[in-house]
Amino acid sequence: MPRSALALSGALAAGVLLLAACSSGPQASAADEDRTQVLASFYPLQYVAQQVGGDLVEVSSLTPPGAEPHDVELSPRQVRSVSETDLVLYLSGFQSAVDEAVDARQPQRVVDAADVVDLLEGGAHAHGEGEQHAEEHAAEEADAHEEEGDAHAVDPHFWLDPQRLAALAQPVADALAEIDPANADAFSAAADELAAALADVDAAYGTGLATCERRVAVTSHEAYGYLADAYDLEQVGMSGLDPEAEPSPARLREIGDVVRANGVTTLFTETLVNPKVAETLAGDLGVTTAVLDPIESQPDSGADYRAVMEQNLEALRAGLGCS
């Protein structure tokens, strides 16, 4: 095995071991009959709460496993649960139904990730030189960019940068400590462990994506701006921030220009988005497809955040020709 591959394998293994070590978080004693109830709006936030709270908390999610979180709809029971739980963890501006439920029910304790994480505007990494050239020729077409409004929308997908996700650990620990002061030290220690483990995942990505033949990643939708920002890649999305938006014919022509101009060999599809458009385009362009998971929902396979991040790194390295 090449030395770089061995180093990457070791870095990933270290991250997995650290994350596994803190996966159970603080341990509940026999006297702890009533665990703190935490309600997360979607999977990455649920994951942080589980890692920080461990056996001392019971975490549920408003977004079912395998479901698309952008347009999640809440039942009356779910709306009521927002005010009945001990702590709500959500990202304002991402899921309108959750925003409405929080506004209506006014839960006592809330951690809003938007107040913690430095969020980026969407579209910041969606335009390469080849695409800009293509846009000059497509500007006269009325439907050149049906998703153009996304260019100035806030990109919610911060969790695809593990360092940004790590920034949530201590605020969640602090909120849990307010509810359960006796276990404040345990929550804080678990937050530190999670942050350290995510730093190792970040290091594995930095090493694994440092030397690549290509740095342009063509994706189904613009979910990977934070990943691109963190690891010096260029994201070009077929659609904007909304995964349900269908790319226009003009947009697909632009993507073809990007592929040819940058020597792209792989179009990245997603787990929760129908790959038909990407697969058809890949066939027309003579390139392949590979799957990236935006980790917007808990994987049906039972894999967790760290496992999916590892799978994404492997797919990126193969698709971008990294050594």
3-state secondary structure the chain: CCHHHHHHHHHHHHHHHHHHHCCCCCCCCCCCCCCEEEEECCHHHHHHHHHHHHHHEEEEECCCCCCCCCCCCCCHHHHHHHHHCCEEEECCCCCHHHHHHHHHHCCCCEEEHHHCCCCEECCCCCCCHHHHHHHHHHCCCCCCCCCHHHHHCEECCHHHCHHHHHCCHHHHHHHHHHHCHHHHHHHHHHHHHHHHHHHHHHHHHHHHCCCECCCEEEEEECCCHHHHHHHCCEEEEEECCCCCCCCCHHHHHHHHHHHHHHCCCEEEEECCCCCHHHHHHHHHHCCEEEEECCCCCCCCCCCCHHHHHHHHHHHHHHHHCEC
> How confident is residue 71, by pLDDT bands cut at 50, 70 and 90?
confident
Do 307 and 276 fall into the same domain?
yes
Residue 12 is predicted with a pLDDT of: 53
Residue 278 is predicted with a pLDDT of: 95
Residue 153 is predicted with a pLDDT of: 86
Residue 8 is predicted with a pLDDT of: 55
* Spatial separation of the C-alpha atoms in residues 20 and 232, rounded to whole Å: 28
Last residue within a domain, chosen from 175, 204, 233: 204
Do 15 and 93 fall into the same domain?
yes
Do 114 and 175 fall into the same domain?
yes
Residue 131 is predicted with a pLDDT of: 38
Within 8 A by CB and 6+ apart from 255, the residues are 131, 218, 236, 238, 247, 281
Tens digits of residue pLDDT in 1-33: 444 444 455 555 445 444 544 444 565 544 445
Do 75 and 180 fall into the same domain?
yes
Do 54 and 93 fall into the same domain?
yes
> How confident is residue 302, by pLDDT bands cut at 50, 70 and 90?
confident
Domain count, the chain: 2
Last residue within a domain, chosen from 187, 204, 221: 204
Do 183 and 289 fall into the same domain?
no
* Spatial separation of the C-alpha atoms in residues 311 and 202, rounded to whole Å: 14
Q: What percent of the chain has pLDDT over 70?
A: 80
Q: Which of 53-62, 68-77, 135-144 has the highest mean pLDDT?
A: 53-62
Average pLDDT over residues 92-110: 97
Do 197 and 289 fall into the same domain?
no
Mean confidence (pLDDT) of the chain? 86
Residue 175 is predicted with a pLDDT of: 98
Do 110 and 233 fall into the same domain?
no
Do 281 and 226 fall into the same domain?
yes
Average pLDDT over residues 113-126: 79
Q: Of residues 149 and 235, which shows the higher confidence score?
A: 235
Do 111 and 126 fall into the same domain?
no
Residue 281 is predicted with a pLDDT of: 96
Do 194 and 307 fall into the same domain?
no
Average pLDDT over residues 149-161: 82
Q: What percent of the chain has pLDDT over 90?
A: 72
Query: Which residue range is the domain that position 27 belongs to?
Result: 3-118+158-204
Tens digits of residue pLDDT in 182-228: 999 999 999 999 999 999 999 999 999 999 999 999 999 999 999 99
Q: Is the pLDDT of residue 132 over 50?
A: no
Do 31 and 86 fall into the same domain?
yes
Q: What is the CATH number of the domain that holds 262?
A: 3.40.50.1980
